[in-house]
Chains A and B, each alone.
Chain A
Amino acid sequence: QQQVKQSPQSLIVQKGGIPIINCAYENTAFDYFPWYQQFPGKGPALLIAIRPDVSEKKEGRFTISFNKSAKQFSLHIMDSQPGDSATYFCAASKGAQKLVFGQGTRLTINP
């Protein structure tokens, strides 16, 4: 199966909170797991990515946690800010094959 399931569909968090977005995949051959961030009126942009040989990756306030046995990965945003309000997409691929995207999460950070 090629699906990637993302939850929740929408999320509202107060400034400074830690929103967590979860994704689950079925294909154990996937070896690349990126997260994309999309602002209104713009195309998605790569935020952070992880490969299955590590369990966690941090870039600034953004962290990916990866659980290979559970076939799940998640995005955490530390000290969230109103400027982080956007739609977030997880994705997965196997080697050079095409990306499979999750359904997206609309995140709102209230001041």
Chain B
Amino acid sequence: DVQLVESEGGLVPPGGSLRLSCTASGFTLSIYAMYWVRQAPGKGLEWVSTLGGTDGTTYYADSVKGRFIISRDNAKNTLFLEMKSLRADDTAVYFCARHSGSGISRRLDAWGQGTLVTVSS
């Protein structure tokens, strides 16, 4: 079975840092593009970052560019999101998701359970 399990989030003061992880099972993470998507409390879904599969190209939303870094450890089949200079508006549930398919069949077909990151003093 395909499964994505995220690490626990937590409470972080403004300006602080946190690293999220997302461990995959049932598939080889390195051959898929992987995404982080977040959802602020009571709000909709917001794309955060993407890590390409074979080429490892990274993409970031403007709201996190320069503060967040997406990466992976192939040996551990794990995706990471390193978050720095956190702000109150980064408070959200963070989901990792797998990108499958190509062309018009591109889709986010597997999601982690989500982990809450709260930025507050």
Verify that A and B bind, or say they do not: no
Hey, which bits of chain A sit against chain B, CB under 8 A?
none
